[in-house]
Amino acid sequence: MKTVVQHAQPKILEPGQGDMHSMLTHTLVWNLDGNDTNGQYAVFEMIDAADGAPPLHRHPWEETFYILEGELEITLGHRQQVVTAGAVSHIPANAVHTFKVLSAIVRVLVIVSPATAAEFYREVGERITSLPPDLTVLQEISAKYDLQFE
């Protein structure tokens, strides 16, 4: 039996290109998804305004934040640190974490792995379209993707 290896096509995006949608307080601009990376990872830009902050949580995928603009306070386990443009924060799978936007606006390049994690962000954006979020729907989506609030 011959194994077929799927190969993603090269991709170049100009500034401002990508699939944009809202997710709670965030605007997400998807640059690469699993189709582009053979399912290995997904990349998006997250744009958020002052005081944007998810509750303390954990999930089974990894996240890496590269701060493009602004200032975040990142909580990772018991450690809190303020990070600014040029900083990188890697959040291993199942690590308890959160962040809070300290500046007027923040832009963060986010890499999630595996790429299937992108489905969580997209589903939340599609199903929760007003704030405050419907907690029943948020809990249902979170359970589906094994995201746990602390």
Decide if 23 is inside a domain. Answer: yes
Q: Which pLDDT score, from 0 to 100, does residue 132 have? A: 87
Decide if 89 is inside a domain. Answer: yes
Q: Which pLDDT score, from 0 to 100, does residue 58 have? A: 97
Give the structural domain span for 44: 19-149
Nearest to 40 by CA among 100, 108, 106, 116: 116
How is 5-62 classified by DSSP, letter by letter? PP-PPP----TT-SEEEEETTEEEEEEE-TTTTTTS-EEEEEEEETT--PPSEE-SSE
Decide if 132 is inside a domain. Answer: yes
Number of domains within the chain: 1
Decide if 38 is inside a domain. Answer: yes
Taking a C-beta distance cutoff of 8 angstroms, is the pair 57, 150 a contact?
A: yes
Q: What is the pTM assigned to this prediction?
A: 0.90
Q: Which pLDDT score, from 0 to 100, does residue 145 have? A: 96
Decide if 66 is inside a domain. Answer: yes
CATH number at residue 38: 2.60.120.10
Decide if 108 is inside a domain. Answer: yes
Nearest to 89 by CA among 104, 34, 106, 105: 106
- Mean pLDDT, consecutive 10-residue segments, the chain of 150 residues? 65 89 90 93 95 92 98 96 98 97 97 96 91 91 94
Give the residue carrying structure tokens 């100009």.
Answer: 14
Decide if 2 is inside a domain. Answer: no
Q: For residue 75, how far is the Cα from the chain centroid?
A: 15
Q: Which pLDDT score, from 0 to 100, does residue 2 have? A: 53
Decide if 85 is inside a domain. Answer: yes
**Main-chain dihedrals φ then ψ at residue 139, nearest 5 degrees:** -65, -40
